[in-house]
Structure 1
Amino acid sequence: MGTAGITGVLLLTAFFLGAADQPDPDYMTEVKTECHFTNGTERVRFLYRDFYNKEEFVYFDSDIGKFIAKTELGKLDADTLNQQEDTLNYYKSQVPTVCVPNYDIWHSVTADRRVVPSGKISVMASVDDLYQYKHTIICNVFGFYPSGIEVKWFRNEQEQTTQVGYSGPHSDGDWTFQFWVSLETDIERGDVFTCEVHHASLKDPLQVRWKPDASDSAKSKMVTGIVGFVLGGIFIAVGLVLYLKSRKAALRVPTNEHFIPQ
C-alpha cells in the first residue's frame, strides 16, 4: 500500500473515532394519562397524551373515541392506532376500569384534603426606631392545603387596601403551600396590626396580631431597662450596707484617749 493509501486510511479512522467521541443528542418521550371528572363521576373523560421533547404530538380522547394528531409527527401514529380496534377499545375502557373505581381515593387526597394554615408576622426594619420611618410588615402564611387562600391586612381594625403586596401560593414540595402579604406603612404607638386569613380548612378566619410595643426591639429595650434598674438597685444596696458598716465601726472608736505629755 502506498503512502497516499496509508494516509487515507488514517484520516478515515480518525474521522470515525472523532464521530464516536461526539455525545449523542438527547431525546425525551413522555406519556401522561388523565382522568377528568365533572359532578363527581357523572361525567368522566379519559385522556392519553404522548409527548416528544416536551411537545405533545398525539393523544387519545375518550369523549371522541379515537386518537387525534397535534403535529405532523403524530399523524402517522394517529392513523395507525385508529385502525386497531383492540387498542381503541382498551383506551375507551379506562373510564369504567381506572377512572371511576379510583375516584374516591383520588378525591380524598386532593379535593377533600384540608390542612390548616399557620401564620407569622415579621417586620423589615433597618433602624431601631419603629416609629420614625415607614416599614414593610410581612404576614407569612404557610403549611396549608389546598392552595386557594385569601389574606387581608387590618390596622386598628380598619382594613388596609393600599400599599399592599401579594405573592402567589408557592408549593413547599410536601403537598402544602405558603403565601405572604406585605403592608408598607408608618407605625404609631398603640397600633395593632392584624393579618386575617380565610381558607377552606378554617371554620373561622385565622387572625395573627402584632403590636409594635410588644415587638422584639421593644421587648429588648424593656428588658435592658429592667436589668439596668435591678443592677442600679443592687449597687445602691451594696453601697448603703458598706456605708452603714463603716459608720458603725467609727462609732465604736473610744473617746477617752490618754496622751503621753511631751
Structure 2
Amino acid sequence: MNCTALVENPQHSGLTVYNMKCFTFLLFLYLFSRSVVDCAADGKGYFIFIDNWCAWYTREPEQVEFLIDWYFNEQFTMRYNSTVGNWTGFTPAGLIFASMYNENIYEVKQKILERQLICVDNTDLLFTGMDLNMAEPNITLTEITTSSHDTMLVCSAYDFYPKHIRVTWHRNGQEVTSGVTLTDVMTNGDGSYHVHSFLEFTPGRQDRVSCVVEHISLREPKIYDWDSSFNQSERSFVIGGVCALLLGAVILSSGLIHYRRRRSVI
C-alpha cells in the first residue's frame, strides 16, 4: 500500500494534517493487521518502510534469527531481533515505540510465532535449494602493525555463499565487542562474498584471542586462534637477542678461523 504524504511546504497546514492522518492510519494498520509494508513519502524515500528477514548462520533451526528493520523517512528507527528477544530503538521515536512493543505481551508472543512460521519452518526448504550453490568461507587471521602500542588483528572471510555470515572475536573465552570494526559484506562479482573484521586491543601476556566464524555452510563454528604467547615488544626483544647471538657466533667463528690459520703458519 502506498500513501503519498506531501511535506515539502510546512506552511500548508492541510498537508501537515493529512501527513499525520496518514501516519496514524498506517500505524493502526500495522499494529492490527500487519498488512502495511511501506508508505511512500516522496519520490526519493519512504514515509514508513518495514523489512522482515531471516538470518541463518548454522543449519540448526533453533539458531535462526528473525529480524525486523523499521525505517521512518529513510532513517533507521528501530529493530526487532529474536536472539535479543525485543525491540531496540535508535531514534527518540524509535525508543518510544520499542518500549511500547516490549511491554506488550501479545506483541512478544506474536513475534515468537512469526519467527517460527517465517524462518524456522522453512529451514529445510531453504537448505534444499541452496546446497548446490553453497560455498564455505576461506578464513585468514593476520596481524597489522600500527603506530600505537595496541595490536590490530584482521579476520577475513573470502569466497563464501550465501551472503549472511557472522564473525565475532573472543578473548579468554569471552566475546569482545569494544574495539571491533566490521566491514559490509561485499560481493566478489561472481556470486560469492567477502567480509573483514578488525580488532584493536592491548594484548596481555596470557591473552587467548580467537576469531569465530559462523556460516550455514559450516556444520559448526570455526575458531581461529591468534598466537599471543608474546606481544610485539617482546617479539622485538627476542628478534634483537637472536640477531645478537648470530652476530656473536659469526665473530667467534671468524676468531677461531684466524687462530687456526696462525697456528698452521707457525
TM-score (norm. length: structure 1) = 0.44
Question: For the pair shown, which has the larger CA radius of gyration, 1 or 2?
Answer: 1
